[in-house]
Amino acid sequence: MKHKGFTLWFTGLSGAGKSTLSERVFEKLKLVGAKVELLDGDEVRTHLSKGLGFSKEDRDANVHRLGFVCQLLSRNGVIAIVAAISPYRETRDEVRAKIENFVEIYVHCPIEVLAERDVKGLYKRALAGEIAHFTGISDPYEPPTSPEIIVDSSLETLEQSEARVWAKLKELELYS
């Protein structure tokens, strides 16, 4: 497989399907021989961003760190895939401006559906005011205004969402 370095940035609320979809794309890229790395938000917070909390400043720092790693990877011919809530539009746009081939994928899902899917009951607890700083409930989530791809995991199957990602990558001529 021949490809340019680029970044796929999956953003959306907790439980929307960012990790599931990004892992699927990652595995298929690996299967065809692409140089690709996956940076999952939860894993990154354990290692690269250990010690950061959930204030706006700490969330922004986490996104900037992810962006820096993506910039290094993609400028060296690696496909960088990020799956992170990354709640603030301005911060995502700052990262976008630094990465030549940046593809933003908004994984949308209504809060009502997320609450139904949530086996840990975090959404119900957050809606009841029991969890502070919960993105999309007591902390803001700013959806992208013009992402390259929007998938709605409440209406589409995983296969349909994945097909939309591949179609856009072909359209943008990021791999062959």
Helix (H) or strand (E) holding 82: strand 79-83
Could you tell me which of 26, 133, 155, 37 has the C-alpha nearest to residue 85?
133
Q: Is 153 a catalytic residue?
A: no
**What is the C-alpha separation between 174 and 41, in angstroms, rounded?**
24
CA atoms within 13 A on the CB side of 148: 20
Catalytic residue among 86, 153, 154, 161: 86
- What is the DSSP secondary-structure string of 30-76? HHTT--EEEEEHHHHHHTTTTT--SSHHHHHHHHHHHHHHHHHHHHT
Phi, psi torsion values for 17, nearest 5 degrees = 120, 15
Q: Do residues 10 and 80 make contact, with C-beta atoms less than 8 angstroms apart?
A: no
Helix (H) or strand (E) holding 1: none
In single-letter form, the type of residue at position 64 comes to H
List the catalytic residues: 86
